[in-house]
Amino acid sequence: MEKDTTPGADGQSDEGPRNDHADHTHRDVSGGWLRPTVFGAMDGLVSNLGLVTGVAGSSASSRTIVISGLAGLVAGAFSMAAGEYTSVASQRELVQAELEVERRELRRHPEDELEELAEVYQSRGVEPRLAMEVARQLHEDPEKALEAHAREELGVDPTDLPSPTVAAVSSFLSFSVGAALPVLPYLLGATSLWYAVVLALAGLFACGAIVARVTARKWWFSGLRQLALGAAAAAVTYGLGVAFGVAVG
């Protein structure tokens, strides 16, 4: 019986065996630049929307609302930037201090550190002899050894530590953009609060939808959830503004 040599008769093409394992990509589970930027914008939106609605609820003039909104934008942006810089700088300094401890141990007790790294690989299912060989090869280069120990013991990549300056600048800019939306209608001549509320809630929905890129949620669910949270904050602060306005009046 002759073998059918027609292309594709045996499930393969003339180009060779078909690879059923197609290439695939994953979401950026660490968030990268997207997460802090979008969350910074959402912070600006929610906080300044609450401020604007609270002031508007007290029956303040449009001029007062604009001044309050711009003051909230500037103060909030600087606060976010300072907080992010301090937080990231402190984290970076702590990691660097721990890396120095590990570097010193690698110099003083190389054999103990070698066995420690091998034991880590063994605990993950690697055969003991192979685990020791991998650890030994990594220890031939001091920097690779430090990187391996940092990853396994500290859970960090010493070659990719976050930058305090980048964190501060990105937080400042993203917060400013978000906080500007509730004030923008007033700057363009609007006198009704509804324009600011609608624009801010639309921005919150968009931010929530973008955040879905780093989560497993549907974009519309994430967007509606953020819109609902922003609307709740605006409603509460507006009610407080009305109450305070009546009390002061």
- Higher pLDDT pick, 27 / 55: 55
Q: How sure is the predictor about 189, in pLDDT bands with cuts at 50, 70 and 90?
A: very high
pLDDT of the residue at 212: 81
pLDDT of the residue at 215: 72
Which tokens in the block code for residue 41?
A: 């914008």
Cα distances (Å, whole numbers) of residue 156 to 11, 78, 160, 162: 45, 29, 8, 10
What is the tens place of the pLDDT at every residue in 137-188?
Answer: 999 999 999 999 999 988 999 888 888 998 899 999 999 999 999 999 999 9
What is the tens place of the pLDDT at every residue in 81-116?
Answer: 999 999 999 999 999 999 999 999 999 999 999 999
Domain ranges across the chain: 41-52+60-242
Does position 1 have pLDDT exceeding 50, yes or no? Answer: no
The percent of residues above 90 in pLDDT, for the chain, comes to 70
Burial of 179 (C-beta count, 10 Å sphere; 0-12/13-18/19+): buried
Does position 11 have pLDDT exceeding 50, yes or no? Answer: no
Are 214 and 27 a contacting pair, CB within 8 Å?
yes
Are 48 and 179 a contacting pair, CB within 8 Å?
yes
> pTM to 2 decimals?
0.78
pLDDT of the residue at 67: 97
